[in-house]
Amino acid sequence: MTRKITSLTSLLSFIVTLVTSVVLYITPHGRVAYWSDWTFWGLSKTQWGDIHITVGLLFLLASLWHIWLNWKPITTYMKNKARDLVVFTRPMLVSVVLTLAVLVGTLLHLPPMQQVLDLAEHIKEVQTATYGNPPYGHAELSKLNKFCSYMGFDVDAALAALREAGYTERLAPDTVLVELAHANGATPQQVYIVMRDALAGKDPFAALPANPPEGLGKMKLADICANFGLPVNEALHKLTSGGMKAAADMTLKQIAAENGVTPRDIYQLLMKTE
């Protein structure tokens, strides 16, 4: 009975750990997931991470107990034809080499390990463009008045804009942005968009954060414009007027490299008022 329970627990916890590993591989960066209230199968990034840790620990414990219960069969894998115990048998050496190859290959950025990591990063970059980037890390945990101060929004005007848009629950300057959003059935990103569209005025570039948000350099100019509600043509005009070669499908880093400047310099050009 003990062997059956151990084996079945190992199997089931392995399946759950496998699923959570795949989900966490494709999840957006934390700042993006929290900003957009990202979920998969109704579970948030935090919940998937919690399940991965706890069920992964169960899998580890069940596997260790499984090894203990099957120690005798395992030792037979490390015996030669004379039935002498030899730790470094041919199967063991192959296993060690495979493990070390993946470990060292990852640290040295060798294929195919690096391609696996690059694919994960590409997926996350696409999701950043899809779900949007917060103005700064954990902006959703800021109180509304602090958020408005950082963005250069007038708090009273922001409250009026939100009230007009139907945000009535917990609408106060000291309400945390994510709590305000959830109380009104929205995401922090949607709350920001309401304020941005109402308060940016004639110059949408005025709504850009004072400092470039984390991860912005990896985003294409077109995606940045979509993220912050900026006209792409005007953004390109700002850059070309500043002597920069740019295209909508280039990332901020690519534009900076093309012109021998830093991504921050490109961002400052976008913010510049005409």
What are the φ/ψ torsions at residue 265 (nearest 5 degrees)? -65, -40
Q: Are residues 243 and 192 in the same domain?
A: no
Q: Which domain holds residue 104?
A: 77-131
Binned at pLDDT 50, 70 and 90, residue 211 comes out as: confident
Lowest-confidence pick of 133-142, 206-215, 261-270:
206-215
Q: Are residues 97 and 113 in the same domain?
A: yes
Q: Compute the average pLDDT of residues 26-54.
A: 94
Q: Are residues 195 and 145 in the same domain?
A: yes
Terminal Cα-to-Cα distance of the chain (whole angstroms): 77
pLDDT at 75: 73
Q: Are residues 11 and 60 in the same domain?
A: yes
* 53 assigned to some structural domain: yes
pLDDT in tens, 178-196: 999 999 999 999 999 999 8
Q: Are 162 and 191 in contact (CB under 8 A)?
A: yes
pLDDT in tens, 153-176: 899 999 999 999 999 999 999 999
Query: Which of 69, 91, 119 is the endpoint of a domain?
Result: 69
Binned at pLDDT 50, 70 and 90, residue 79 comes out as: low
Binned at pLDDT 50, 70 and 90, residue 65 comes out as: very high
- The number of distinct structural domains making up the chain is 4
Q: Are residues 121 and 147 in the same domain?
A: no
What are the φ/ψ torsions at residue 39 (nearest 5 degrees)? -140, 160
* 186 assigned to some structural domain: yes
Q: Are 236 and 246 in contact (CB under 8 A)?
A: yes
Q: Are residues 174 and 229 in the same domain?
A: no
Three-state DSSP class for 201? Answer: coil
Asked if residue 34 has pLDDT above 80, the reply is yes
* 209 assigned to some structural domain: no
Lowest-confidence pick of 20-34, 64-78, 142-156:
64-78
Three-state DSSP class for 36? Answer: helix
List the structure tokens of 25: 């591989």
* 111 assigned to some structural domain: yes
Residue whose C-alpha is closest to residue 204's, from 193, 191, 214: 193
Prediction pTM value:
0.80
